[in-house]
A and B are shown apart, each in its own frame.
Chain A
Amino acid sequence: MGNSTHKLEIFRGLVKFKSNQSKIWAVLFFLSVVTIIEVALGIVKPEVLIVNSFLSMKLINWIFIILTIVKAYYIMWDFMHMRDELRGLQASVIITLSFLIAYLAFILLVEGNYIFDVMYEGFVSWNF
């Protein structure tokens, strides 16, 4: 039940730690750096990332969402010890959640966008 039983490498084996504790501190450092990047981007709001968009979402929002998922991955894999669990458990949690959440978000966002269009282009004035 010692350290030897934890998988101690992160970034696909790029970095390997001697003990579980040093891995935890490194993950904290990584998460902090990501958060600082997010906050800095949120405050500076670079013009380039706001004007340009990809798949009708601003680049800055893509960056925020991707960084969030990266953070979620490391919290789950290293803090919640998902890295040490069996593939079956990893898959049952991740596939279930990612499918259902992506589905829910897709349906509701498309619907919200549609209602916006109706109110925006419709004949009825919503601003009286």
Chain B
Amino acid sequence: MSSTITTIEDDNTDVWGGGNKPLNSSYGKLMMWFFIVSDALTFSGFLAAYGFSRFKNIDSWPIADEVFTHFPFLHGVDAPMYYVALMTFVLIFSSVTMVLAVDAGHHMQKGRVAFYMLLTIIGGAIFVGSQAWEWGNFIRGEYGAVETKGGQIYQFQSSETGKRIALHDFAVEIPSERVQHESKNGVWYMGESTLPSYTTQEVISGFVANDDIVIKTEKIDENGHKIILSREESLNKITQAVSVVEGANLVNNEYGNRLFADFFFFITGFHGFHVLSGVVINIIIFFNVLVGTYERRGHYEMVEKVGLYWHFVDLVWVFVFTFFYLV
């Protein structure tokens, strides 16, 4: 196993003196594997909890294809998952450049290590930026919905074209005096978040006035499609609406089950934080390569250890991609 780099001279024959290498791996690499195993368990805890909540609400969970439909510079185009797929490619590619950097390190080629590290950093930065963009779209929302007292989300769509309809396309303006309650105007711990653009009454009136709008419920039929109500049922159900929801936050979201947005924020957020710290660590190592730290040390094992972490982040994304976006 001479592909793994020797960091300690083998003259220390004392087993407990720190000289020997368990499993033929250096101390640093072994510790990185310990970290990776424990971190993998953290992520699987998140994903298993997601699976739990999804199985618990299996007949009403949001369909990822209908939530993530944006692609940069293509406004109004329904592009399910293309962007996430692109992000996956970016991350896999940055993994490849990392592995090439490690390979160049084995050959002690300083220039190539630095070059590939730089490409890896750029790839990671593109990925984090893309995730921020995804979050932005997710939080802003597109169509808006209403929520019932029981916490169900009703979305709206046209009964003729079957296309989703945004609140601002049909809600009527009713002059009203509702002001956002801010904590500075009352007890300091009581405030409220930004008011939605329309009141519930405005949405309901607009809904009643437009004959071609029907309600799209959270429930899924046996073919995996969301159940669409008839116009009569819709008119009946719309009266149950108690609040207007636009976009997503930790309390409610316009896409459906409240837990969906929570898991989206926690899982992709936790992963995005890993990518971000990976980029920061990569930058530190990149500068160390540039100033020749590892050249003087005689080996590039540090690049290999950072590489392990970076590949792990990629590995986790493969699973997040499958369980959050595909399945």
Shortest Cβ distance from residue A7 to the other chain B in the assembled complex, whole angstroms = 9
Q: Tell whether, in the assembled complex, residue A42 and residue B325 are in contact, meaning their CB atoms are under 8 Å apart.
A: yes
Tell me how many residue pairs across A and B have CB atoms closer than 8 Å: 157
| Interface footprint category on A | 35 or more
B107 contacts which chain A residues (CB < 8 A)? 1-2
Give the residue of B33, B55, B92 whose beta carbon is less than 8 angstroms from that of A93: B33
Q: Tell whether, in the assembled complex, residue B1 and residue A86 are in contact, meaning their CB atoms are under 8 Å apart.
A: yes
Q: Which of A81-97 touch B at CB < 8 Å?
A: 81, 84-86, 88-89, 92-93, 96-97
Residue-wise, chain B 101-125 has the 8 Å CB interface mask toward A (1 for contact) of 0110011000000000000000000
Q: Tell whether, in the assembled complex, residue B322 and residue A5 are in contact, meaning their CB atoms are under 8 Å apart.
A: no
Q: Tell whether, in the assembled complex, residue B56 and residue A1 are in contact, meaning their CB atoms are under 8 Å apart.
A: no
Shortest Cβ distance from residue A111 to the other chain B in the assembled complex, whole angstroms = 6
Q: Which of B39-98 touch A at CB < 8 Å?
A: 40-41, 44-45, 47-49, 51-59, 65, 80-82, 85, 88-89, 92-93, 95-96, 98
Shortest Cβ distance from residue A3 to the other chain B in the assembled complex, whole angstroms = 8
B185 contacts which chain A residues (CB < 8 A)? none
Q: Tell whether, in the assembled complex, residue B308 and residue A72 are in contact, meaning their CB atoms are under 8 Å apart.
A: no
How far is A97 from B89 in the complex, measured between Cα atoms in Å? 25
Q: Tell whether, in the assembled complex, residue B322 and residue A24 are in contact, meaning their CB atoms are under 8 Å apart.
A: no
Q: Tell whether, in the assembled complex, residue A64 and residue B311 are in contact, meaning their CB atoms are under 8 Å apart.
A: no
Q: Tell whether, in the assembled complex, residue A39 and residue B319 are in contact, meaning their CB atoms are under 8 Å apart.
A: no
Question: Known interface pairs A5-B2, A28-B96, A93-B37. Does A79 touch B314 (Cβ–Cβ under 8 Å)?
Answer: yes
Closest to B92 in A: A31
A126 contacts which chain B residues (CB < 8 A)? 150
Give the residue of B4, B57, B224, B319 whose beta carbon is less than 8 angstroms from that of A68: B319
A25 contacts which chain B residues (CB < 8 A)? 96
Give the residue of A27, A43, A50, A120 whose beta carbon is less than 8 angstroms from that of B59: A120
B318 at the interface (CB under 8 A from A): yes
B25 at the interface (CB under 8 A from A): yes
Q: Tell whether, in the assembled complex, residue A20 and residue B103 are in contact, meaning their CB atoms are under 8 Å apart.
A: yes
Give the residue of A38, A43, A113 whose beta carbon is less than 8 angstroms from that of B322: A38
Q: Tell whether, in the assembled complex, residue B311 and residue A79 are in contact, meaning their CB atoms are under 8 Å apart.
A: yes
- Which has the most chain B C-beta neighbours within 10 Å: A71, A105, A115? A71
How far is A65 from B47 in the complex, measured between Cα atoms in Å? 13
A55 at the interface (CB under 8 A from B): no
B49 contacts which chain A residues (CB < 8 A)? 108
Closest to A65 in B: B322
How far is A97 from B51 in the complex, measured between Cα atoms in Å? 18
The chain A residues found within 8 Å of chain B, CB to CB, are: 1-2, 5-6, 20-21, 24-25, 27-28, 31-32, 35, 38-39, 42-43, 50, 61, 64-65, 67-68, 71-72, 75-76, 78-81, 84-86, 88-89, 92-93, 96-97, 100-101, 104-105, 108-109, 111-113, 115-116, 119-120, 126-128
**8 closest Cβ contacts across the A-B interface?**
A112-B55, A5-B3, A112-B52, A108-B52, A68-B322, A89-B23, A39-B85, A112-B56
The chain B residues found within 8 Å of chain A, CB to CB, are: 1-5, 23-25, 30, 33, 36-37, 40-41, 44-45, 47-49, 51-59, 65, 80-82, 85, 88-89, 92-93, 95-96, 98-100, 102-103, 106-107, 149-150, 152, 223-224, 304, 307-308, 311-312, 314-315, 318-319, 321-322, 325-327
